[in-house]
Amino acid sequence: MFLAVTSCGADGEPSSGTTIATVPAEPATGVVPAPLTSTLPASTVPTVTAPSTSTSTGDLGRGADPGVAIEVGAARAAGEGFTLLRGRRVGLITNTASQIDGQPLVEVLAHSAEVDLVVVFSPEHGVDGGRPAGVAVDDSADTGGGFVVRSLYGVNRAPTPASLSEVDVLVFDLQDVGVRAYTYLSTMGLAMEAAAKADIPFVVFDRPNPLGGRYLGGFTRRSGFESFISQYPVPAAHGLTAGELAQAIQGEGWLPGLEQLDLQVVTMTGWQRADTWSATGLDWLPPSPSLPTVEAAAVYPATVLFEATTMSLGRGTAEPFTLLGSPWVDGVEVAAELNQRQLPGVRFEPAEFTPVASPSVPSPTYEGERLTGIRIVVTDEARVEAVELGVHLLEVFWRHGGTRGVGPLIDRGATLDLLAGGGELRAGIEAGVSASAIIDQWQAEIEAFDTLRRPYLLYD
């Protein structure tokens, strides 16, 4: 086997061919079983039962074609003995959900005789993946692993020139969830800018988009709504892998100063655009505390919109992002109305739950209160239209809250606008516009983005 690397040149367009490293395949060397301190935290204290998940290797599975193995970018690089990194001082952006043969990539590189890992950069949730959402991550000067940890979710959101002064190549390997609001790809773009300024290569070890590569949904982010949860002018569900988005960021000039960046993407094998996560056969390793299951990731584009409301998203239970509730919700009535809409890939159940604090969710909404609401049950992951689902949920809960006189459901309008990419969604909900009519507004934008993204697609 040889390592396939898709490169972008000065013009940002994908190269006409694939650069093949001609070093014969060999196993990664120096990997020892003794782990660093990087175990994912225990799940939140449940008051409801969560679906079971598997957590073994996380880097090899079977996709839509059962005869073709899916191998993620990091595993392919390891199979080549990390040829791209050999003899270089490496900076790595990662967390412990990015694994090879059951070991976090950070451990593999730290113990590799071929790679000099000098600094690990931490995204939101920390290198261990267990820090609470929105809570700053600290630097760590002494890890016991021969490298330092520098936070990209604290005072700095990008590597500083000082932190890159002894780095020869910057590597990105984080499991994204395919949603504009998820901060890992915002971290990637800012790190690309820092690598360009430092004149060092930027390498992406690619991983699947859990939503698949075909589904696109939501408004394209408008100018003036740029933020860390709305970094790029893409739909809410963008249908790209990290490597594909990195190429688009450079090629479309979505961030400045990337024209001369040496961007390289180590592609996956076997992944097809139709593959949602369950179709890959890969183990789901939670990329952040509130996405413990594939089902949570599948509906995250819908329920993340409720971050801007007075309702609980199920944080503080074992089913975050698949539960929605509040003291005033009639779960039986709401579930019945939503089921009548026959939304693809999901059904709804009445639910009761009590959020409980934990280290990864220290202050859940309505902590200790018994809440009523709904559970979103994923019946066909490949059919879920999650952004559309979110609009239907907002419409129904807005109307039910109004009839009960509980005050405005949306209590952080500016946050909803950033999550939605502009003001159209909030304006429509507050004006009583139907979900279907709101969804119709973004169809032309989806078609335009589908055309724009085609030069950057690496699969199928």
Is pLDDT of 65 > 80? no
pLDDT tens by residue, 302-356: 999 999 999 999 999 999 999 999 999 999 999 999 999 999 999 999 999 999 9
pLDDT at 55 over 60: no
**Is the pLDDT confidence value at 26 over 90?**
no
How sure is the predictor about 445, in pLDDT bands with cuts at 50, 70 and 90? Answer: very high
For the chain, domains (ranges, CATH) are: 294-441 (3.90.1150.140)
- pLDDT given for residue 60 in this prediction: 52
pLDDT at position 135 is 84
Average confidence (pLDDT) over 39-62: 34
Q: Is the pLDDT of residue 443 over 70?
A: yes
pLDDT tens string 364-397: 999 999 999 999 999 999 999 999 999 999 999 9
How far is Cα 291 from Cα 318, in angstroms, rounded to an integer? 10
Of 10-14, 69-73, 354-358, 381-385, the poorest mean pLDDT is in 10-14
Report how far residue 205's alpha carbon sits from residue 264's, in angstroms, rounded to the nearest whole number.
9
For position 20, what pLDDT does the model report? 24
Dihedral of CA 22/18/70/36: which sign?
positive
